[in-house]
């Protein structure tokens, strides 16, 4: 009886861990449980990149999308991210920015239009090959209930401790980790040490640096940061996106100044596009938000 009990109990633990990991993955990308699985077409092939070291060329071509049939979220969105460059997306809350990243990761299929990577329609290729290419730093990182080391290594299973520490150093989280009583073996997540939003995001950055993906999606946290933390996060974003195809969903415009292209979204459409200088000259929506945020930053300095 005892012999039978132990393996069953063990299986129960494994089952719970797997279930928890799936929940964590779902949470990681802000996906609700009612999300319908997308499926590979029959005989789907793996996506191939023209130049993996530079990253792929990404195109959204007249994309329409809604989560629920009666409410359109993206209404004819078209843009191109040239290989190895950064495109930033800004706009009011709810305008559809994070939806772009979920669609690029193919968590949902679009209603019409096309999303291509190096000319290959992502709906026609293996999801696994698509997701292998992409590293995503989500807005609210949910950590696995495991050690902080595991949470970073997850980006590259089998990575050496040196590689993990190098990524953690670049993400400015190594010193914090070694100050913890159990260092890299410290348990985190719901059942362990609770980390701040900024610390969790740095773990996600370290994980992504370790994965070294061809395409990076960075969904900046909405939470207010002091200007010191903001500058630190900025330098981490720069390290993550340099010479790589990147999509940065930004809430603070200071994050996007150096992006090769900035898209301004409003109500599911791109209403302005260009570089920071071009958009300031345009004196439209972007310039309005920029001046507002500059004023807020000055007020913060005074107080």
67 contributes a contact to ligand ATP by CB under 6 A: yes
Minimum distance of ligand ATP from residue 262's CB (angstroms):
15
**What distance in Å separates the CA atoms of residue 273 and residue 130, rounded to the nearest whole number?**
27
141 contributes a contact to ligand ATP by CB under 6 A: no
Closer to ligand ATP by CB, 35 or 161: give it.
35
Measured CA to CA in angstroms, residue 63 lies from 2, 59, 114, 268, 269 at distances of: 58, 10, 6, 10, 10
Burial of 292 (0-12, 13-18, 19+ CB in 10 A): exposed
Least Cα distance to 170 among 189, 191, 187, 155 occurs for 155
Which tokens is 223 given?
């939470």
Q: Which residues contact 210 (CB under 8 A, 6 or more apart)?
A: 152, 153, 155, 156, 159, 163, 164, 167
**What distance in Å separates the CA atoms of residue 178 and residue 224, rounded to the nearest whole number?**
26
Among 95, 153, 201, 208, binds ligand ATP (CB under 6 A): 95
Of 38-46, 53-61, 67-75, 276-284, the segment contacting ligand ATP by CB under 6 A is: 67-75
252 contributes a contact to ligand ATP by CB under 6 A: no
Name which of residues 16 to 45 contact ligand ATP (CB under 6 A). Answer: 32
179 contributes a contact to ligand ATP by CB under 6 A: no
Closer to ligand ATP by CB, 80 or 267: give it.
267
Name which of residues 208 to 227 contact ligand ATP (CB under 6 A). Answer: 222
Minimum distance of ligand ATP from residue 64's CB (angstroms):
13
Among 57, 85, 87, 99, binds ligand ATP (CB under 6 A): 99
Closer to ligand ATP by CB, 100 or 205: give it.
100
Burial of 218 (0-12, 13-18, 19+ CB in 10 A): buried
Which tokens is 22 given?
């799936």
Closer to ligand ATP by CB, 84 or 91: give it.
91
Closer to ligand ATP by CB, 150 or 218: give it.
218
**What distance in Å separates the CA atoms of residue 188 and residue 200, rounded to the nearest whole number?**
10
Among 94, 178, 281, 296, binds ligand ATP (CB under 6 A): 94
Minimum distance of ligand ATP from residue 217's CB (angstroms):
12
Minimum distance of ligand ATP from residue 208's CB (angstroms):
19
In sequence order, the β-bridge partners of residue 116 are 59, 121
**Are 229 and 264 spatial neighbours (Cβ–Cβ below 8 Å)?**
no
Q: 3-state DSSP call for residue 19?
A: helix
| C-beta atoms surrounding 50 within 10 Å | 12
97 contributes a contact to ligand ATP by CB under 6 A: yes
138 contributes a contact to ligand ATP by CB under 6 A: no
List of residues contacting ligand ATP (CB under 6 A): 32, 67-68, 73, 91, 93-99, 222
């Amino acid at each position: 009886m005892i012999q039978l009990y132990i393996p069953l109990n063990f299986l129960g633990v494994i089952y719970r861990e797997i279930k928890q990991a799936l929940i964590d993955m779902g949470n990681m990308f802000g996906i609700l449980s009612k999300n319908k699985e997308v499926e590979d077409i029959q005989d789907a092939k793996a996506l191939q990149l023209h130049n993996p070291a530079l990253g792929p060329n990404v195109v959204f071509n007249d994309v329409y999308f809604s989560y629920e049939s009666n409410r359109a979220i993206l209404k004819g969105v078209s843009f191109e991210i040239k290989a190895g460059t950064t495109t930033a997306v800004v706009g009011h809350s709810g305008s559809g920015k994070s939806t772009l990243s979920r669609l690029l990761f193919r968590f949902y299929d679009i209603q019409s239009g096309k999303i291509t990577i190096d000319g290959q329609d992502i709906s026609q290729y293996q999801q696994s090959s698509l997701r292998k290419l992409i590293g995503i730093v989500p807005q609210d990182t949910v950590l696995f209930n495991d050690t902080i080391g595991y949470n970073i290594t997850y980006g590259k299973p089998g990575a050496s401790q040196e590689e993990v520490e190098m990524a953690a150093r670049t993400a400015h989280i190594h010193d914090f980790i070694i100050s913890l009583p159990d260092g890299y073996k410290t348990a985190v997540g719901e059942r362990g040490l609770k980390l701040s939003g900024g610390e969790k995001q740095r773990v996600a950055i370290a994980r992504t640096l370790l994965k070294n993906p061809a395409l990076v999606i960075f969904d900046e946290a909405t939470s207010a940061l002091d200007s010191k933390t903001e500058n630190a996060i900025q330098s981490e974003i720069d390290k993550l996106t340099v010479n790589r195809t990147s999509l940065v969903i930004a809430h603070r415009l200071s994050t996007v100044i150096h992006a090769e292209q900035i898209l301004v979204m409003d109500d599911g459409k791109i209403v302005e596009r260009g570089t920071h200088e071009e958009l300031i000259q345009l004196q439209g929506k972007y310039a309005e938000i920029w001046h507002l945020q500059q004023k807020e930053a000055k007020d913060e300095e005074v107080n």
